[in-house]
Amino acid sequence: MGKKSLKNNEQWIKTTDSRPRTGKSSERQELLEDMIELADRAEDAPAEPSAEPAIATAERNENTAAQERDFADRTVDALKIFAARLPGYMRRFGRFMRDGVHMAGDFLYEVGYYAEYAFVQVGRVCKRGASVAGGALLRALALLFKVVLWLPAAILMMFLRPFVYLFRACRTVRDILFTRDPDRPGETFKKVFAYIGRGLYKHMHLLSDILGWVLPVAAAALFVFTVRTVMDYEYVLQLSYDDQVLGYVASEDVFEKARQDVRSRIVYTEEDSGDQWSLTPSYMLAVNDGVKVLDAAEVADAILQTSGEEIVEATGFYLNGTFYGAVTNGDRLQRELDEIKAPYATGEEGEYISFVEEPQLVEGVYLRSSIVDYATIGDLIHSQVAGEVRYTVQNGDNPSGIAHAHGLTTAELVNLNPDQNILKSLHPGDSLLVSQAVPFLRVKVTYRRTEMEEIPFETTRKNTSDLYFGATKTVVQGVPGLKECVYDYEYVDGIQQSKTLVSSTVITAPVNREILVGTQVRPGVSVVPSNGAYMWPIPGYTYCSRGFTGVYAHNGIDICGGVGTPIYATQSGIVTTAKYTNKGYGVYVVLDHGGGMSSLYGHCSSLAVQVGQWVNQGDLIAYLGSTGNSTGPHCHFEIRVNGIANNPANWVGNG
Please tell me the predicted confidence (pLDDT) of residue 15: 47
Instruction: Give backbone dihedrals phi and psi of 239, rounded to 5 degrees, phi first.
Output: -100, 130
pLDDT value at residue 605: 92
Task: Classify 651 as helix, strand or coil.
Answer: coil
- Identify whether the C-beta of residue 243 lies closer than 8 Å to the C-beta of residue 306: no
Position 603 scores a pLDDT of 94
Q: What is the dihedral of CA 417, 421, 422, 427, to 10 degrees?
A: -110
Nearest in space to 397 (alpha carbons), one of 387, 389, 388, 406: 406
Mean pLDDT of 55-79: 78
Which residue(s) pair with 386 in the sheet?
A: 438
3-class DSSP state of 114: helix
Q: Report the 10 Å Cβ neighbour count for 287.
A: 10
Q: When comparing pLDDT for 463 and 474, which is higher?
A: 474
Please tell me the predicted confidence (pLDDT) of residue 530: 35
Q: Residue 555 and residue 644: Cα distance in Å, rounded?
A: 9
DSSP letter at 172? H
Q: What is the mean pLDDT of residues 99-108?
A: 79
Task: Identify the weakest region by mean pLDDT among 15-19, 178-182, 190-194, 291-295.
Answer: 15-19
Over 50: is that where the pLDDT of 119 sits?
yes
pLDDT of residue 254: 82
State whether residue 295 is helix, strand or coil: coil
Report pTM: 0.40
Q: DSSP class of residue 552?
A: T
Residues 287-300 have pLDDT tens digits of 767 778 888 877 77
Nearest to 502 by CA among 482, 486, 483: 486
Instruction: Tell me what pLDDT residue 50 has.
Output: 47
Res. 137: pLDDT tops 70: yes
Q: What is the mean pLDDT of the chain?
A: 78
For residue 500, what pLDDT is reported? 92
The matching CATH number, chosen from 2.30.31.10, 1.20.1050.10, 3.90.1150.10, 2.70.70.10, for 529-650 is 2.70.70.10
Half-sphere exposure of 522 (CA within 13 A, CB side): 7
Find the helix packing angle between 57-178 and 205-231, rounded to 10°.
Answer: 100
Whole-angstrom distance, CA of residue 441 vs CA of residue 437: 11
Which pLDDT belongs to residue 56? Answer: 67
pLDDT at 527 over 80: no
629 neighbors 589 (Cβ within 8 angstroms):
no
Q: What percent of the chain has pLDDT over 70?
A: 78
The confidence score (pLDDT) of residue 543 equals 82
Q: Say what the pLDDT of residue 22 is.
A: 47
Do residues 480 and 468 make contact, with C-beta atoms less than 8 angstroms apart? no
Nearest by Cα to 654 from 545, 540, 536, 572: 536
- Out of 120-129, 150-159, 178-187, 625-634, the most confident range is 625-634
User: What is the rounded distance in angstroms from the CA atom of residue 344 to the CA atom of residue 349?
Assistant: 14
- In 242-350, DSSP assigns E strands to 244-249, 266-267, 282-287, 311-319, 322-327
Class of domain 442-525: mainly beta
Q: Is 253 helix (H, G, I), strand (E, B) or coil?
A: helix
The predicted model gives 499-503 an average pLDDT of 92
Q: What is the pLDDT of residue 586?
A: 93
Calculate the CA dihedral of residues 405, 410, 414, 416 and round it to 10 degrees: -50
Q: Are strands 389-392 and 481-492 parallel, antiparallel or unpaired?
A: unpaired
Q: Quick check: 609 and 589 in contact, CB under 8 A?
A: yes
pLDDT of residue 284: 73
* pLDDT exceeds 90 at position 453: yes
Spell out the residues 6+ positions from residue 394 whose beta carbon is closer than 8 angstroms to its own. 428
* Most confident of the ranges 18-27, 368-377, 449-458: 449-458
At residue 616, the 3 state secondary structure works out as coil
Structure confidence at residue 111 (pLDDT): 79
430 or 293, which is more confident: 430
Backbone φ and ψ for 589, nearest 5 degrees, come out as: -140, 145
pLDDT tops 80 at residue 183:
no
> What percentage of the chain has pLDDT greater than the value 90?
17
pLDDT digit string, tens, across residues 258-270: 777 777 666 666 5
Q: Which helix (H) or strand (E) holds 592?
A: strand 587-594
Average pLDDT over residues 53-57: 60
Residue 364's pLDDT is: 76
What is the pairing mode between strands 634-641 and 644-646? antiparallel
According to the model, what pLDDT value does residue 299 have? 77
Q: Give the model's confidence band at 248: pLDDT under 50 very low, under 70 low, under 90 confident, else very high.
A: confident
Report the chain's terminal Cα–Cα distance, integer Å.
146
pLDDT tens per residue, range 296-354: 877 777 776 676 556 778 888 888 888 888 898 889 999 999 999 999 998 888 899 99
375 pLDDT exceeds 80? Answer: yes
> What is the pLDDT averaged over residues 560-582?
90
pLDDT at 505: 94
Residues 78, 473: Cα–Cα separation, whole Å: 129
